[in-house]
Amino acid sequence: MIPYADLQAQYRGLKPEIDDAVLRVLDSAQFILGPEVSAFEREFADYCGAAEAIAVNTGTSALHLSLLAAGIGAGDEVITVPFTFVATAAAIVYAGARPVFVDIDPVTFTMDPARIEAAISGRTKAIMPVHLYGQAADMEPILEIARRRNLRVIEDAAQAHGAEYRGRRCGSIGDIAGFSFYPGKNLGAYGEGGAVVTNDRDLARTVRVLRNWGEEKRYEHRLKGYNYRMDGIQGAILRVKLRHLEAWTQARQTRAALYDRLLEGADVTRPLSRPWNRHVYHVYAIRTTGRARIQEALTAHGIQYGVHYPIPLHLQEAHRDLGYAAGDFPVAEAAARAVLSLPIFPEMTDAQVETVSAVVRTSAGCGQPPTE
């Protein structure tokens, strides 16, 4: 059996450090926010090359508060992509605004900047690119349009811990960003978690107030806030795991490079990493016209896989009210039919990558793997 990811193996490797961190929180009884969460906020802000990080309870909450702090509310429109996890659009809806989709680039699957201008209306307040699969969206043209049209840029960095665009870390590029620490993310908590990251001290102050019931002083509620605080235990665990993140990212990149080599010449399209990006391979998604056949072969060999994502958001039942139809975003629709995520995790062995690659090669219909 080859799992899609192996969180148990990761815990086994970290057990003494993690157990110690959790027990420290239990002893201190600082169960919500507290010193471990504050320390994690400083360390994660530094990691992102940003001034501030504000720890919250989920990545979705991080995006929701980023939008609210940026002044987005009822009647506003936010431009984003339909080829992403549902949380991207949900956060916009939570803020009372309307997601307006633009199609994606056919090569990287991130927002196609050439589509943005046509989607801007008098109600547009922000652009929310998604750094999908761990690769930064094409931020330079997005920032240029935002500057010219006076729009905010909110990064959905939920899959992009440590990813870079032209030397800048994701989360420090736009006005404000949301990260997720869902257990399966490149930096994952042992439960739910998220963070808002920004260089703007005023936005950071607003997010801090909003995540804790809108209060700056106890029982004085300046804003209508939320209970979006991070648990102390998650903060302590994330501090331990953050120290290993660079090594894990390098391990993911090594696995991706091995897949790239072993799948060369196979009848599948390998993921493309732009040379100016640092891709952190949260997902290693190939594209294929024979997905069902490859899925069947992987299952027969006990190999888990994922499909991120099979239905673009504009075709989801939940978002029917937005009024989109099939054919509106052909690149996203084609991607949804063709993508297949292969197992990738830092603890994965070369032999496992070789096994998966061999099954993909044969089931995709192609020759023998390259010989050394």
Binding interface with ligand PLP (CB under 6 A): 58-60, 84-85, 87-88, 130, 156, 158-159, 180, 182, 192, 194
- Comparing CB distances to ligand PLP, the nearer of 143 and 157 is 157
Nearest distance from C-beta of residue 194 to ligand PLP, angstroms: 5
- Comparing CB distances to ligand PLP, the nearer of 59 and 82 is 59
Alpha-carbon gap, residue 237 to 256, rounded angstroms? 27
Is residue 53 within 8 A of residue 62, CB to CB? The reply is: no
Nearest distance from C-beta of residue 88 to ligand PLP, angstroms: 5
Q: What string of H, E and C letters represents the secondary structure of the chain?
A: CECCCCHHHHHHHHHHHHHHHHHHHHHHCCCECCHHHHHHHHHHHHHHCCCEEEEECCHHHHHHHHHHHCCCCCCCEEEECCCCCCHHHHHHHHCCCEEEECCECCCCCCECHHHHHHHCCCCEEEECCECHHHCCCCHHHHHHHHHHHCCEEEEECCCCCCCEECCEECCCCCCEEEEECCCCCCCCCCCCCEEEEECCHHHHHHHHHHHECCEEECCEECCCCCECECEHHHHHHHHHHHCCHHHHHHHHHHHHHHHHHHCCCCCCECCCCCCCEECCCCCEEEECCCHHHHHHHHHHCCECCECCCCCCHHHCHHHHHHCCCCCCCHHHHHHHHHEEEECCCCCCCHHHHHHHHHHHHHHHCCCCCCCC
Nearest distance from C-beta of residue 327 to ligand PLP, angstroms: 24
- Comparing CB distances to ligand PLP, the nearer of 47 and 85 is 85
Nearest distance from C-beta of residue 304 to ligand PLP, angstroms: 18
Nearest distance from C-beta of residue 39 to ligand PLP, angstroms: 21
* Main-chain phi, psi angles of 197, to 5 degrees: -130, 135
Q: Report the alpha-carbon angle 342-345-350, nearest 5.
A: 80
Which residue minimizes CB distance to ligand PLP?
59
Nearest distance from C-beta of residue 274 to ligand PLP, angstroms: 18
Nearest distance from C-beta of residue 161 to ligand PLP, angstroms: 11
Nearest distance from C-beta of residue 187 to ligand PLP, angstroms: 11
Alpha-carbon gap, residue 284 to 4, rounded angstroms? 11
- Comparing CB distances to ligand PLP, the nearer of 97 and 364 is 97
Place of tokens 């652009």: 127
Alpha-carbon gap, residue 53 to 270, rounded angstroms? 34
- Comparing CB distances to ligand PLP, the nearer of 59 and 361 is 59
Nearest distance from C-beta of residue 84 to ligand PLP, angstroms: 5
Nearest distance from C-beta of residue 316 to ligand PLP, angstroms: 14
- Comparing CB distances to ligand PLP, the nearer of 45 and 81 is 81
- Comparing CB distances to ligand PLP, the nearer of 84 and 206 is 84
- Comparing CB distances to ligand PLP, the nearer of 90 and 251 is 90
- Comparing CB distances to ligand PLP, the nearer of 125 and 185 is 185
User: Cis link prior to 309 (omega < 30° from 0)?
Assistant: yes
- Comparing CB distances to ligand PLP, the nearer of 30 and 66 is 66
